[in-house]
Amino acid sequence: MTGNIRTFILMAAMTALGMGWLLGGQGGAVIALVIAGAGNIWAWWNSDKAVLRQQGAVEVSRNQAPELVDMVAALAQRANLPMPRVYVLATEQPNAFATGRNPENAAVAVTQGILQVLNRDELAGVIAHELAHIKSRDTLIMTVTATMAGAIAMLGNMLMFSSLFGGRDDNRGGGLAGLLAMIFAPMAAGLVQMAISRAREYEADRIGAEICGRPMALASALAKIARAAGRSVNIPAERNPASASMFIINPLHAMRMDRLFATHPPTEERIARLQAMGAGRPAAPRAAGPWGGA
């Protein structure tokens, strides 16, 4: 089953859950959907600027970072994508993410740490992974699911207050049902969001490996980033944990991670899949490149 099919199934499940609340007759449900939808449409148009600003990203030109910008340009050409804007984050934690509502308005951001830790081929694999997210329009997919999740959460809250403060009693459990809805509706929506994010990471690994042509280099990069991420703190990401799912590896400190609620699939499984892709292919050269690292 491909990542797109899995995403469709998960989004259909979330739609069914939301429609279940609507068909249940909850008063004001349409208003909740409109409010949540409008908020997320605004976020869709402005999310790239907001995330880059939150993370303290600084745009770089070819004059400022010729090797990095040329690498992004070459990989974008291989992926048949417009040239994205390139940003650098002033954090020692090795990481990267892509943002933008479509390929024409996309950006790739890397940290200072990743430029120091990875070699040239590994960095190319990471950038290719981020370009894969852009190519697959994952930002749009996650925005749609966020709209549905926000609507479901609001409906759960509305059902609780309606049940507790004189809302109609249609034999659905009264206040207890409302309380359970408040707790479990947002949780269910969040779990679906995380499941979609996990599926998209696997797909971005696969497409990214095809773009750069070196699955083993991307696998090596994931291993290095995962080891280093737990030893350093990404302060902007910690302040804005909702952005964690955008990074190639969860940027939040290891002590805050929970396997059940993780936004990323296990790194070991991602590496194993990439190694399977790379079986029989020539090993990626260990060129140090302009960033050092072996």
Q: Considering the domain boundaries, does residue 291 fall inside one?
A: no
Query: 292 falls in which pLDDT band (50, 70, 90)?
Result: very low
Q: Pairing relation of β-strands 96-99 and 107-111?
A: antiparallel
Q: Which two tokens stand for residue 57?
A: 């990203």
User: For residues 84 and 59, is the Cβ–Cβ distance under 8 A?
Assistant: no
What does DSSP assign to residue 91?
-
The answer to whether residue 290 sits within a structural domain is no
138 falls in which pLDDT band (50, 70, 90)?
A: confident
- pLDDT at position 111 is 96
Q: Which residues are catalytic?
A: 130
Backbone phi, psi, residue 280, to 5°? 90, -10
pLDDT score of 244 more than 90: no
Look at residue 78 and tell me if it is in a domain: yes
253 or 49, higher pLDDT: 49
Binding annotation for Zn(2+):
129, 133, 201
Task: Decide if 233 is inside a domain.
Answer: yes
pLDDT in tens, 181-240: 555 555 555 555 565 567 789 999 999 999 999 999 999 999 999 998 878 888 887 777
Mean pLDDT, all residues of the chain = 74
Interior angle at CA 183, CA 141 and CA 250, nearest 5: 45
Handedness of CA 148, 154, 157, 162 (dihedral sign): negative
pLDDT tens column, 43-100? 567 767 877 888 899 999 999 999 999 999 999 999 999 999 999 999 999 999 998 8
Number of domains in the chain: 1
Domain of residue 178: give its range: 3-282
Is 230 inside any structural domain? yes
171/149 Cα distance (integer angstroms): 26
- Per-residue confidence (pLDDT) for residue 290, from 0 to 100: 44
pLDDT at 278: 85
| Residue 294, in any domain of the structure | no
Known binding residues: 129, 133, 201
Is residue 198 in a domain?
yes
- The count of C-alpha atoms lying within 13 angstroms of the C-alpha of 147, restricted to the half-sphere facing its C-beta, is 18
246 closest CA partner among 150, 115, 120, 110:
110
Q: Is residue 288 part of a domain?
A: no
Which pLDDT does position 77 carry in this prediction? 96
